Structure 1
Amino acid sequence: EENLEALKKGSVNLGAHIDNLKKFGVPVVVAINHFYADTQAEIDYIEQFCKEKGADFAVTKCFAEGGEGGTQLAQKVVDACEKENNFHYLYDLDMPVYEKIETIAKEIYGADGVDYTKEAKAAIDEFVKLGADKMPVCMAKTQYSLSDNPKLLGRPEGFRITVSSASLSNGAGFIVCQTGSIMTMPGLSKSPAAYRIDIDENGNTVGLF
């Protein structure tokens, strides 16, 4: 059923992402992923919201229409690439690693600050001794919230991020900070397809797709 009030409440999260991207000095394009039950009033609201935030947008129907459903979005991205921009990173790589983490937490997530477990701090301090502190930082965090708490929806305020552990991806060239309780291989459902792969009585592999 159409629910504009719920859409308005949830749109603050979209607003946060638009604001964050603008901090990098580039044009922003929003993909409005169309579902079959979406009403025109809901689409209109999101389009108006994007206009007010200064972001371009395109409705995409790739699931229903395949590549044809994404051509408008593709053109908008091409157009954005051709616009003048003032791209810059969020922080300087020479910035101390703890300041990088703090910058990400405050500027991107909207946190008040960062807390560290003893294990995480010990690991980061070791990376500094190894001279790896000039690397960029990759934050591993729940996809459900701008905080590290999946229950804090929308655009939460008045929270702190907890770095629970840290690891060094030296080959890739960055430090990984895990926040809260996070699985480092996201994207799997609670019942992944691997559970249904088997070998039948004739020795044939079944369940692959």
Structure 2
Amino acid sequence: AAACIPFLENDDSNRALMGANMQRQAVPLIDPHAPWIGTGMEHQTARDSGAAVIAKHDGTVEYVDADEIRVRRTSGELDIYNIMKYRRSNSGTSYNQRPLAELGDKVEAGDIIGDGPSMENGEMALGQNPLVAYMTWEGYNFEDAIIMSERLIKDDVYTSIAIEEYESETRDTKLGPEEITREIPNIGDEALKNLDEDGIIRIGAEVE
């Protein structure tokens, strides 16, 4: 991570350590952008992350969609690369890959043919490139406080997706097996409106 901090030699060592740790803690954004100012290590970092889709052999891209990339090797064999879409990572973030290769592209072994999370065009992309002003603003940015434009929220500039998984178990008791049902005593209809007849929340329901 320290190799991706521009002008590292001019930074205080404590700040460089903080910057390296913050890069490690970054969550994947919906629309990540590669940095305009970098160190040249962004491509290598993305390639070595294990999250990118990398061509295993030389060949020609024969088919591309959101779910898979097919590459015809020079030897005639067909390689199929599956694209992971909105999978839950161990940290609860959205693991999403996007195809980079286009139909008819010639690829070589080791080329990045699909972006992983926190990547753009084969480069590490942990955030955005916002316009930043160093100034005072009625004391609201005192010490380490920052002021952000409301547009960043409205346009989902720094929005990320979190995926949570919930499980419910049924057990065999002395009174018989437990059931998952919509008929819950002493619960109003308003609280049950998003459950199906089996007591499981319906797809597309908005919850709070």
TM-score range, shorter chain: under 0.3
More contact order relative to length (CA 8 Å, sep ≥ 6): 2
The structure whose residues are more often helix, as a share, is 1
* TM-score, with structure 1 as normaliser: 0.24
* TM-score, with structure 2 as normaliser: 0.24
Q: Which is higher, the Rg of structure 1 or of structure 2? A: 2
